[in-house]
Structure 1
Amino acid sequence: MTEEQLIQRKTTLLALFEDPAYVPMKLKELAMFLDIPKEQREDLKKVLDILLAEGKIGVSQKGKYGKQDIGTIAGVFFGHAKGFGFVSVEGVDEDFFIPEEKTGGALHGDTVLISEESKPENGRRAEGRVIKVLDHANKEIIGYYQKNKNFGFVIPDNQKLAKDVFVPQGKDMGAVTGHKVVVRVTDFGGPEKKPEGIITEIIGHVNDPGTDILSIVRAYGLPEEFSDSVMKQVEAVPDRVSEEERQGRLDLRDLQTVTIDGEDAKDLDDAITISKKDGVYTLGVHIADVTNYVTEYSPLDEEALKRGTSVYLVDRVIPMLPHKLSNGICSLNHGEDRLALSCMMEIDGAGNVMGHRIAETVINVDRRMTYTAVNAIITDHDEAVMKEYEDFIPMFEEMRELADILREKRKKRGSIDFDFPETKVILDERGKPLEIKPYERNAATKIIEDFMLMANETVAEDYFWQEIPFLYRTHDNPDPERMKSLATLINNFGYSIRFHNGEVYPKEVQKLLANAEDTPEEALISRLALRSMKQARYTAGNTGHFGLAAKYYTHFTSPIRRYPDLQIHRIIKENLRAGLNEKRITHYDKILSQVAAQSSAMERRADEAERETIKLKKCEYMEKHIGEAFDGVISGVTNWGLYVELPNTVEGLIHVNQLQDDYYHFDEEHYELVGERTKRVYKLGQPIRVIVAGTDKLLRTIDFIPAKEFDEE
């Protein structure tokens, strides 16, 4: 079937289904009605599947095709390690819950057709059943090979793929138990049958250095190399800014300019200037002009869109752009002329932006600062560090003053700060973890966060009111039912949350977190509040950012590592130079929704891969400490046991079976385990001494048992 025939048949079917006289029919009936011979029915089936995947038609549970509202919905299946899943449907805010027995053999990432079996109520999601898998996402699966006598199984690294893959005898390339492999799926199985496949590559043995992270890279489909066409384009990128490129730009090279980043950072994409006169601060946020080198529809641009974001794993960075750009001409390196897109804001003593200018600029960074050094100056007043940077001290003091003002203003309007400690993993040269510790935010990191937030808001508001096609970073209001469920849960701990006309304002969530601060249940309250909210995402329309309590928000400040930033830089520059004509506005209207969807999906993939590598290294680190005792805090209580978090951010489970001094019941209202005989209580925030009992690198889990010293108290 040619492209022209496909289009013609799609048009015919859509017109037929819209006809009021049309009665839904099964495939065979429909083929006869359209007078399509038997040998062409497979083509008809393909066209129907395409229209189903596009969400333009529907199919009933009895297999009858008709209009979209016939009873089925197309969406993407997101699996869970326990077998159940969720289906995300474009245009529908809340995902559908799919119980394990109703997944229909779907695997994580598959495009599926579902029927809605119950409506959302009392904070619970709508429930659905998978009727059919339209498109299998997992043509290849990466996992751990387990050899049996006459066959083998591949246990997927991605736990959301909740089924092992059967490998017949002679299809294993000689793999042995312990190999990490790539298996090509030849049969996706179904509700009662496992997928089947052929091993096409042996990545390495699980104990070989680097195999573990490489397996995660492959499992998530993260790109490892840039194509020849991309590298050919990069070869033509200059190492220095030319005089011709400086022409027509606002020259800011005389301003005292600094970058402030972590010690290890090499892609420096934001620089700061600041001054103060008559109580008004002039803050300049200068962002690398990546679009000067990454032109629309070039190989570099297409690859950047495909990747969506840089991915920061524990032992490597998989960049969105090649290093010659990200660490070279696009990095705002000390002492080098660099092209930038700058947002210069005049801000009064109350944190209000009184005026601003966005311009194409050329800058030259005077000092490459680190968070550690700046914090040593403004917080610790370290004499040696202050002497080294004495010419910049007034600048850093003004930064601290303004950041405090901006932070206080955000706090007053209700901006929510979920301050969960991030994990820093220190590795040796072989990739083995030497140390796990919390990554601390200090005063300097908060200053940069405050300034980037201000620039992002200012740019978003400007372009919203210009009514120009744009990308926004949005965070929708939470579902009222889920917030009511949260209110019920926290009430058991003596907390409350106020509703206004059935809605919750960000300030109420902020108050809740403030009230729980420094209490045993702080971590749980924060996690429950976070889970009650929706995910932030990229959209072509502006609906505000609930978490930041901001009416307008975008991502402007990191075009080296995030595609949405690069995309809006392109729009801004085009607007600054000549204004956007009708043709270009139509062009952006057409592409931005897809750019937003792709960027959101790639961000989600990167976050998951990053979390998996950290969990893996935590397991590997604690493996060396099996039998050792640690002091921790109970961070979660469930009917199957206690989660305990150590000061280094490692979390493990004490299974309820390990609490052998009594039979424990789970008190769901108070999140406690209570002993039937002793009435002993395990509750959130309670200090507990544990012994590391074991780790499972495949499942990325750590098991604890209570230390005897604790039990004998």
Structure 2
Amino acid sequence: MARKKKTFPKRQLRARKYRKDSKGFHDRQIINRIITALYKENNTLSINDLVKSLNLPRTGKKTVEEALTFLCQQNIAFKSSRNHFSLHRNRQYFEATIDRHPSGFGFGTDLLLRSQFKPLAKEPYISKTRMNSALHGDRVLLSIVKLRRNDRAEAEVIGVIKRKTTRLAGIYHQLDDGHFVYPDDLRFPSPIILAAPPALQINNGDAAIVKLIDQERDHSRLHGEITEVLGNPDNIDVHIRLVVEKFHLPSTFNSRVQEEAEHVTPLPGPADREDLREVLHYTVDGKTAKDFDDAIAVEKNLQGYRLYVSIADVSAFVKPGSLIDRDAYERGTSIYFPGAVIPMLPENLSNNLCSLLPDVDRLTVSVILDFDQQGSLLKSRFARSVIRSSQRFTYGTVKQLIIDKAPSIRRNHQPYLTPLKWAAELAELLRNNRRQRGSIGFTLPEADIRLDAQGKVSSITRAENHFGHQIIEEFMLAANETVAETFAKAKRPMLYRIHEEPDSEKIADFRKFSQLLGLELPKEAATPKWYNSVIEKVRGTSGEYVINTLLLRTMQQARYSPDNKGHFGLAAQYYTHFTSPIRRYPDLIVHRLICDLLMVREQDQKNYTISRPADSLKQAGTYLSERERIAVSSEREMADRLKCQYMSGRIGDCFQAVISGVSDTVFFVELLDVFVSGAVSLASLSDDYYLLDKKNHRLIGDVTGNIIQMGDYIEVVLLDVEHNKNRISFTLKQTSPTAPHEKIPDKHQMRPIL
């Protein structure tokens, strides 16, 4: 019978106030440092070992002896042998990573428990006063001080196991009482004290990189020295560097990786591949794209259509375990900023050897799909191939050719008019079939940030998403699903892109809110078709924005996993990412698995080697999902910085907006004609005192009864821009919201979720 796991002893749920013992010992810092040292060693330590570990002078031996006596009396440590000590196993300590909020409090994430106690149900909360010397991102030792009623534990940092941050970016200021750098990352709320005036030439207000020093000597304050001056923080290159530092992004390639990239030899070469150079392939990408992952070709026949989706064979150039491969795995993905990119692969690969440039032979992995005249898949096969892309199209050009039918553009592309017509026909069939099976028609807005020649923001609008984009999207979806289904049915290892079912509690809350709005929802379970029926029910109504926003919040995040759980949003039983190996490492993994399948290797692939022998597909899925989230967060951060820069010149301007959320202190707005969001402080409303009705996502005036409802359309005036917080503040042009619009104008295009 399995031993029953222990629960928390009640005495451990009280905050530990180390009292003076009979010898009068009371040094909380030494106590915590000894506990941390014993935990890190995970073995017995002598008094001399501890003195050395704590960097104490010889005179500190007596202090350590007194502290150990106290810890033994408190049943925290015990003497395991002559002058050797260990921690008691009945004490519950957690390893955790600090996720700190700018206000000072934080949470312990990535928990690790060594003892026999039950794991925590939720990530523990750590107040500012119990954070001690821990910084954001540090790996720390936690002790539980109490449990809340909601099963959220409150914890205290006992000590730092490993520092995450050794340098920070920030803004330099010379003040009367010294020289300081204020961290750009607000999760480090304390200014960094410079021991001496900077040796480098620097102006007040310049951005700089600071090396942190004396972290172990002085736990209460940050000390550092400037190692690099970045310059004016309004410069876009400085913005990029600040984001790189905040998210610890690998922005350059070391010389060894660069050298390897210059001398790669692809295997297999063109002679050992299926020759598809006579097939009319072409690429369709954005205007500024340089890394062309995918090329397509569509042929029409008596049965229906044949689709070629040919993807750059990065696996031919990047060998598992190579320097390039290990570096690409660490990066996980390319990161795109307006006017700049941090690539996953060195430029010689991403923009040259792997990129499917026009009029040159390129190595690819092709998925060849045959469809009938209704767009149903008849058969499929894979091939390592060689192609020659004949044309590089932009989405705008495709739109002009097949939607606008611009005569001058069509005259210049006569050989492609019929193939593009076939592509549009097939894409329409695939889209209709996908919708009929229940693929959810959610759309997310995406910003199109344009820069001028000086790197300043010239405009911020909602990015276009027309049928030219959707043709390529449909073909990529079809290829991804086919690859995933092939591996699932063959019961071979695969890294799937999964999107699990929505949270049932969130669905229940959404149903209750919809009833309050008078919206009658279908009673069946929340399937993809149920989602679509709700979306269609509110389409074009005044409640469309609020319903779609809240419905989207019920969904889970997509992630990578070797366990196929389907893709809820696409209503797909099988799905993976195969079509972008130049910019996504998961796609490179999938390519290698396809090549293994084609070569029919006789080997066990349950623990498929990715870049290091110890890595499994499960570990890779977890890590690469996290790298994707970091990339998304950094791209969002960069966009927010540029939005603040752009809006700082429009103080006092009036904008139409929709209320996107409410809280007890502010309500949030999204502008309609400029793709920018911000907040209106309730303190700025002079007509009434507003109270939060959280369940109904609205604010109610205490005296007037005026209602500010999520989804209402209003007019706001830009009040202030706080660059250091990426915060844009508005105030109402009038004291109460206008009547809701009937419908968001069609010009506000949005991007489908994949």
Q: 1:351, CA displacement in angstroms?
A: 4.1
The answer on 1:229 being equivalent to 2:256 is: yes
Query: Equivalent of 1:533, from 528, 532, 555?
Result: 555
The answer on 1:634 being equivalent to 2:659 is: yes
Structure 2 distance, partners of 1:379, 1:29, is 70
Q: Counterpart of 2:368? A: 344
Structure 2 distance, partners of 1:264, 1:30, is 53
The answer on 1:448 being equivalent to 2:475 is: no
Q: What's the % identity of the aligned pairs?
A: 32
Q: 1:489, CA displacement in angstroms?
A: 3.8
Q: Counterpart of 1:184? A: 211
Q: Which moved more, 1:284-293 or 1:621-630?
A: 621-630
The answer on 1:134 being equivalent to 2:140 is: no
Q: Deviations over 1:580-611 (max 9, x none)?
A: 41378564694223332332222122111111
Q: Counterpart of 1:707? A: 733
Unaligned ranges ≥5, structure 1: 1-16, 19-23, 47-60
Q: Counterpart of 1:109? A: 137
1:190-205 maps to which residues of 2 (within 5 A)? 193-205=220-232
User: Is contact 1:189-1:195 (8 Å) kept?
Assistant: no
Q: Counterpart of 1:213? A: 240
1:141-540 maps to which residues of 2 (within 5 A)? 141-159=168-186, 161-170=187-196, 173=199, 177-186=204-213, 193-208=220-235, 210-237=237-264, 245-495=269-519, 504-540=526-562
Q: Counterpart of 1:53? A: none
Q: 1:229, CA displacement in angstroms?
A: 1.0
RMSD of aligned residue pairs (Cα, Å): 3.8
Q: Which moved more, 1:322-331 or 1:479-488?
A: 479-488
Structure 1 residues 464 and 324, CA gap change in structure 2 (3 angstroms): same
Structure 1 residues 585 and 354, CA gap change in structure 2 (3 angstroms): farther
Q: Counterpart of 1:50? A: none
Structure of higher CA gyration radius: 2
User: Is contact 2:181-2:194 (8 Å) kept?
Assistant: no
Q: Secondary structure at the match of 2:696?
A: coil
Structure 1 distance, partners of 2:229, 2:549, is 39
Structure 2 distance, partners of 1:206, 1:568, is 41
User: Is contact 2:94-2:142 (8 Å) kept?
Assistant: yes
Structure 2 distance, partners of 1:624, 1:31, is 53
TM-score by length of 2: 0.79
Query: Equivalent of 1:644, from 669, 674, 689?
Result: 669
Counterpart residue identity of residue 551, structure 1? Q
Structure 2 distance, partners of 1:657, 1:314, is 35
Structure 1 distance, partners of 2:686, 2:309, is 59
Counterpart residue identity of residue 422, structure 2? E
Equivalences, count: 670
Q: 1:317, CA displacement in angstroms?
A: 0.6
Structure 1 distance, partners of 2:131, 2:632, is 28
Q: Deviations over 1:529-550 (max 9, x none)?
A: 3333332222233222222222
User: Is contact 1:629-1:691 (8 Å) kept?
Assistant: yes
Counterpart residue identity of residue 505, structure 2? E
Q: Counterpart of 1:615? A: 640
Query: Equivalent of 1:602, from 627, 647, 655?
Result: 627
The answer on 1:687 being equivalent to 2:713 is: yes
User: Is contact 1:246-1:339 (8 Å) kept?
Assistant: yes
Q: Counterpart of 1:11? A: none
Q: Counterpart of 1:13? A: none
Q: Secondary structure at the match of 1:434?
A: strand
Q: 1:321, CA displacement in angstroms?
A: 1.1
User: Is contact 2:716-2:731 (8 Å) kept?
Assistant: yes
User: Is contact 1:96-1:128 (8 Å) kept?
Assistant: no
Structure 1 distance, partners of 2:137, 2:40, is 31
Q: Secondary structure at the match of 1:549?
A: coil
Counterpart residue identity of residue 373, structure 1? T
The answer on 1:39 being equivalent to 2:48 is: yes
Structure 1 residues 329 and 95, CA gap change in structure 2 (3 angstroms): farther
Q: Which moved more, 1:414-423 or 1:695-704?
A: 414-423
Structure 1 residues 96 and 328, CA gap change in structure 2 (3 angstroms): same
TM-score by length of 1: 0.84
User: Is contact 1:71-1:116 (8 Å) kept?
Assistant: yes
Q: 1:63, CA displacement in angstroms?
A: 5.2
Query: Equivalent of 1:80, from 91, 101, 126?
Result: 101
Q: Secondary structure at the match of 2:297?
A: strand
Unaligned ranges ≥5, structure 2: 7-11, 13-33, 56-73, 78-85, 113-118, 740-754
Counterpart residue identity of residue 639, structure 2? I
Counterpart residue identity of residue 597, structure 2? N
Structure 1 residues 34 and 620, CA gap change in structure 2 (3 angstroms): closer
Q: Secondary structure at the match of 1:201?
A: strand
Structure 2 distance, partners of 1:387, 1:209, is 40
User: Is contact 2:103-2:189 (8 Å) kept?
Assistant: no
Structure 2 distance, partners of 1:253, 1:68, is 67
Structure 2 distance, partners of 1:70, 1:593, is 32
Q: 1:282, CA displacement in angstroms?
A: 1.7
Counterpart residue identity of residue 620, structure 1? Q
User: Is contact 2:167-2:212 (8 Å) kept?
Assistant: yes
Q: Counterpart of 1:54? A: none
Q: Which moved more, 1:535-544 or 1:314-323?
A: 535-544
Structure 2 distance, partners of 1:584, 1:711, is 59
User: Is contact 1:163-1:195 (8 Å) kept?
Assistant: no
Q: Which moved more, 1:668-677 or 1:547-556?
A: 668-677
